[in-house]
Amino acid sequence: MTALSDTLARVRAEGRPALVGYLPTGFPDKQTAIDAMVAMVEGGVDIVEVGLPYSDPVMDGPTIQKAADAALRAGFRVADVFDTVEAVAATGAPTLVMTYWNPVERMGVDGFAARLAAAGGAGLITPDLIPDEASEWIESSTTHGLDRVFLVAPSSTDERIAMTAQASSGFLYATSVMGVTGSRTATSSAAPTLVGRVKQVSDIPVGVGLGVSNGDQAAEVGAFADAVIVGSALVARLLEAGSDTTAGIASVRALAEDLRAGVERARTAPDQTSADKGALA
Amino acid sequence: MFSSAASADQQRTTLPDEHGHFGRFGGRFMPEALIAPLDELERAWREAKQDPTFVNELDRMFREYANLPSPLYEASRLSERVGARVLLKREDLNHTGAHKIRNVLGQALLTRRMGKRRVIAETGAGQHGVASATACAYLDLECVVYMGEVDTERQALNVARMKMLGATVIPVTTGSRTLKDAINEALRDWVSTVDDTHYLLGTAAGAHPFPEIVRDLTRGIGDEARAQVHELTGALPDAAAACVGGGSNAIGLFTAFLEDADVRLYGFEAGGDGFDTGRHAATITAGDVGVLHGTRSYLLQDEDGQTIESHSISAGLDYPGVGPEHAYLAETGRVSYEPVTDDEAMAAFDLLCKTEGIIPAIESAHAVAGALRIVPTLTAELGRTPTILVNLSGRGDKDAHTAATYFGLLSEEDA
């Protein structure tokens, strides 16, 4: 069992979905990003996704693009990711890196995997790498004991869902909508269907991402997902705070608390919500 | 024409392989959400190019609307000047002024065949945007063009052209606000609209099946030229040359000659201000292997794998990536890729204007410049005057301002 699988199993035993929080490395600066990720864990995030800022983030909406742009302009280097992972993993929360593929390939897939493992990282989420193209990563991740989180989407065929679930470890990332990252006012109706399709062919835990921005949405999504993934809403807290990094970190922590409360009440009937929340907190 | 390409394609096994790879290049580095749509596109394209109804309809459009096949022209005065027999494939005479009309008509017709009503496209300087808007007006499709904000300011006239043709132009304000960011934004649109929208990619790059589709649609350039050169000279050319940005006109020219071992093939990349300045777009000669916009190929990137902005006087060559089949042809050695600087291209531009009365696109001037450069070597190798086929991929109307500025022909208030 990897640290990621352990955490997912423990959370499942608690009768709730896991909360996964995303923030990019190096935004607004390296140390603030680390502090914000730690605050996110203290606020109740179970698993951390450390974003790797990239020049051409085709799967990201305006919020994450803006933060990644700012990090790159501020001098972000790929090596910063490993320091960040090390600092965040020290909290005990499994720490994954979410990255577009070219920076990994540029460093060398095995070299990247070795450094990530040495930093205590749990694995990679790869939004533009499909298992069909991933033979090198599958080999290196196995060698270094890292998890591979691939993605499925509402457009995925049943055959591709089965193949992708088979190639993944830790959890499978289900993108709840056909679209890019970003907060949305309503959670997706396609997501429960997609999770159901995965469940028919695999028992791998399913994390649902894209569009979750508050505790109520986390509760809604958590009712059918094994993990609730939140990115843009957290990044937005840092963007809104601007140069007031203390306020930004506090705001991230507050949102993490709200989201955690959301996943805590996700699996309970409405009339038991408050009692159960008390028992679990 | 397209029909010759469709029948030629059936006669031999061509790359890509079943996974969209050209050797170690190509493939699909795309969000999973787009994989099923790309599979559907691949199926639709392979059915369409075998379907006589589609092939005949596209041939009719090429003939009646796009002014194809384009003529082969013996550039006698230029030939005399440079000591080679220079034959120009006149894609500059096509409707909208470049080879690009082949690709956009084919993909627009495919869009209709797939039952989609909306087309999105990226554009750098605006040439592919104008071509896409043209095809969409002709085939009654909605057209949305993504264009970097920097480019919309530099190319206001092309923005106006697209609007005249009924397209919506969306300025892209993210990243470096140029072509690569326009592609990013088009992909972001596509992932949420793919049910009713086709992404009409403008070059032979991107995720499989785009490099294959664009090559199939542009390979008429080489198929036509091969027959035309043979008819004119009784033999095949000693060399064929094209400029390479993303690589659509070059792959269109080269494909017909790949198995003609005696025909040397040359791709000329944009050397910009020269290598030492770091300001160029010579992806194959100066880049490294990596992944960008859905495909593995050569690209301009820093040591962290972040994309580096390219530079060229020619907007159409100003792209930090290149089509994966070119990467493969470079690696196998079948095609030689060399950089041509802005200054070399502009000297050839001037020469073609003065000797032939042809104002070429600055992109195409790179091919002419490169062709002139290889004359001495070729002559020595062959022991006779070589015959060189050059793809004149587009006309220079769009570049009048850039060229006039370069040659100092504008008064200060005009420039």
- By C-alpha distance, the chain B residue nearest A157 is B36
Question: Using 50, 70 and 90 to split pLDDT, how confident is the model at B300?
Answer: very high
Q: What is the mean pLDDT of residues A22-30?
A: 98
Contact A155 B290 (CB under 8 A): no
**Using CB atoms, which residue from A101, A160, A175 is nearest to B291?**
A101
Tokens of B291: 């992944």
How much of chain B exceeds pLDDT 90, in percent?
A: 88
Active site annotation includes B309: no
Question: Using 50, 70 and 90 to split pLDDT, how confident is the model at A103?
Answer: very high
User: CA–CA distance from B36 to each of A12, A177, B32, B209 (Å)?
Assistant: 32, 14, 8, 12
Contact A55 B175 (CB under 8 A): yes
pLDDT of A21 higher than 80: yes
Instruction: Please identify which of the residues B70, B91, B116, B122 carries the catalytic annotation.
Output: B122
User: Alpha helices of B199-323 — where are they, by DSSP H?
Assistant: 210-218, 220-233, 248-254, 283-286
User: CA–CA distance from B341 to each of B60, B151, B154, B247, B278 (Å)?
Assistant: 39, 21, 21, 17, 12
**Buried residues in B66-91 as b, exposed as e (16+ CB within 10 A):** bebbbebbebeebbeebebbbbbbbb
User: CA–CA distance from A232 to each of A62, A64, A209 (Å)?
Assistant: 9, 6, 10
Contact A128 B34 (CB under 8 A): no
Round to whole Å and give the CA distance between B343 and B340.
Answer: 8
Round to whole Å and give the CA distance between B321 and B204.
Answer: 11
Contact A69 B175 (CB under 8 A): yes
For residues B162 and B126, the answer to whether their CB atoms sit within 8 Å is yes
* CB atoms closer than 10 angstroms to residue A157: 13
Query: Is the CB of residue A137 less than 8 Å away from at least one CB of chain B?
Result: no
- By C-alpha distance, the chain B residue nearest A53 is B306
Cα-to-chain-centroid distance, residue A108: 23
Chain A segment 44-63 residues within 8 A of B by beta carbon are: 54-59, 61-62
**3-class secondary-structure state, position B42:** helix
Task: Calculate how close chain A gets to B184, using CA atoms only, in Å.
Answer: 5
pLDDT at B64: 98
Condensed to tens digits (0 to 9), the pLDDT of residues B201-245 reads 999 999 999 999 999 999 999 999 999 999 999 999 999 999 999
**3-class secondary-structure state, position B338:** strand
Least confident of A3-7, A51-55, A124-128, A272-276: A272-276
Pick the CATH number of A3-280 from 3.40.640.10, 2.20.28.120, 3.10.20.30, 3.20.20.70: 3.20.20.70
Contact B32 A175 (CB under 8 A): yes
Q: Is the peptide bond before A94 cis (omega within 30 degrees of 0)?
A: no
Tokens of B48: 């369409």
For residues B78 and B355, the answer to whether their CB atoms sit within 8 Å is yes
Contact A102 B174 (CB under 8 A): no
Contact A56 B291 (CB under 8 A): no
pLDDT of A281 higher than 80: no
**Using CB atoms, which residue from B29, B301, B305 is nearest to A128?**
B29
For residues B370 and B378, the answer to whether their CB atoms sit within 8 Å is no
Least confident of B83-87, B107-111, B152-156, B185-189: B152-156
pLDDT at B11: 47
Chain A segment 70-99 residues within 8 A of B by beta carbon are: 72, 77-78
Task: Calculate how close chain A gets to B349, using CA atoms only, in Å.
Answer: 34
pLDDT at B5: 64
**Residues in chain B closer than 8 A to A190 (CB atoms):** none
Task: Calculate how close chain B gets to A183, using CA atoms only, in Å.
Answer: 15
Residue with more model confidence, A211 or B105: B105
**3-class secondary-structure state, position A64:** helix
Condensed to tens digits (0 to 9), the pLDDT of residues A180-227 reads 888 777 777 899 999 999 999 999 999 998 889 999 999 999 999 999
Q: Is the dihedral of CA A191, A192, A198, A202 positive or negative?
A: positive
Condensed to tens digits (0 to 9), the pLDDT of residues B42-82 reads 999 999 999 999 999 999 999 999 999 999 999 999 999 99
**Residues in chain A closer than 8 A to B184 (CB atoms):** 56-58
Task: Calculate how close chain B gets to A91, using CA atoms only, in Å.
Answer: 28
Residues in CB range of A178: below 8 A, 6 or more apart? A153, A154, A155, A190, B33, B191, B192, B194, B195
Task: Calculate how close chain A gets to B105, using CA atoms only, in Å.
Answer: 27
Burial of A167 (0-12, 13-18, 19+ CB in 10 A): middle
Q: What is the mean pLDDT of residues B101-122?
A: 98
**Using CB atoms, which residue from B19, B32, B304 is nearest to A151?**
B32
pLDDT at B174: 86
Mutate to test the interface with A, among B304, B309, B319 (most CBs of A within 10 A): B304
Round to whole Å and give the CA distance between A53 and A69.
Answer: 7
- By C-alpha distance, the chain B residue nearest A81 is B304
Q: What is the mean pLDDT of residues B378-390?
A: 98
pLDDT of B292 higher than 60: yes
Residue with more model confidence, A159 or A177: A159
Task: Calculate how close chain B gets to A105, using CA atoms only, in Å.
Answer: 7
**Residues in chain B closer than 8 A to A129 (CB atoms):** 29
Question: Using 50, 70 and 90 to split pLDDT, how confident is the model at A280?
Answer: very low
Round to whole Å and give the CA distance between B316 and B311.
Answer: 11
**Buried residues in B195-213 as b, exposed as e (16+ CB within 10 A):** eebbbbbbbbbbbbbbbbb
**Using CB atoms, which residue from A101, A157, A180 is nearest to B188?**
A180
**3-class secondary-structure state, position B390:** strand
Tokens of A177: 């909508």
Round to whole Å and give the CA distance between B358 and B75.
Answer: 10
Residue with more model confidence, A5 or B1: A5
Among B77, B64, B70, residue whose Cα is nearest residue B97: B70
- By C-alpha distance, the chain A residue nearest B181 is A56
Among A230, A266, A234, A236, residue whose Cα is nearest residue A253: A234
Burial of A270 (0-12, 13-18, 19+ CB in 10 A): exposed
How much of chain B exceeds pLDDT 70, in percent?
A: 97
Task: Calculate how close chain B gets to A150, using CA atoms only, in Å.
Answer: 9
pLDDT at B276: 83
**Residues in chain B closer than 8 A to A106 (CB atoms):** 288, 290, 301, 303-305
Show which residues of A are catalytic: 49, 60
Q: What is the mean pLDDT of residues A53-73?
A: 95
Question: Using 50, 70 and 90 to split pLDDT, how confident is the model at B151?
Answer: confident
* Domains of chain B with CATH codes: 23-66+100-215 (3.40.50.1100), 72-97+218-406 (3.40.50.1100)
Query: Is the CB of residue A161 less than 8 Å away from at least one CB of chain B?
Result: no
Measure the N-to-C terminal CA separation of chain A; round to a whole number of Å: 26
The residues pairing with B242 across neighbouring beta strands, listed in sequence order, are: B267
Cα-to-chain-centroid distance, residue A158: 24
User: CA–CA distance from A237 to each of A41, A75, A97, A234, A248 (Å)?
Assistant: 15, 21, 20, 5, 6
Contact B290 A150 (CB under 8 A): no
Condensed to tens digits (0 to 9), the pLDDT of residues A215-262 reads 999 999 999 999 999 999 999 999 999 999 999 999 999 999 999 999
**Using CB atoms, which residue from B33, B35, B307 is nearest to A56?**
B307
pLDDT of B199 higher than 80: yes
Round to whole Å and give the CA distance between B153 and B125.
Answer: 10
pLDDT of A278 higher than 60: no
Condensed to tens digits (0 to 9), the pLDDT of residues B319-356 reads 999 999 999 999 999 999 999 999 999 999 999 999 99
Contact A153 B33 (CB under 8 A): yes
Summary mean pLDDT of chain B: 95
Q: A60 φ, ψ to 5°?
A: -105, 140
Mutate to test the interface with A, among B24, B32, B185, B199 (most CBs of A within 10 A): B32
Place of tokens 């596209």: B58
Summary mean pLDDT of chain A: 93
User: How many residues appear in chain A?
Assistant: 281
pLDDT at B6: 60
**3-class secondary-structure state, position B274:** strand
Q: Is the peptide bond before B69 cis (omega within 30 degrees of 0)?
A: yes
Contact B304 A157 (CB under 8 A): no
**Residues in chain B closer than 8 A to A61 (CB atoms):** 188
pLDDT of B146 higher than 80: yes
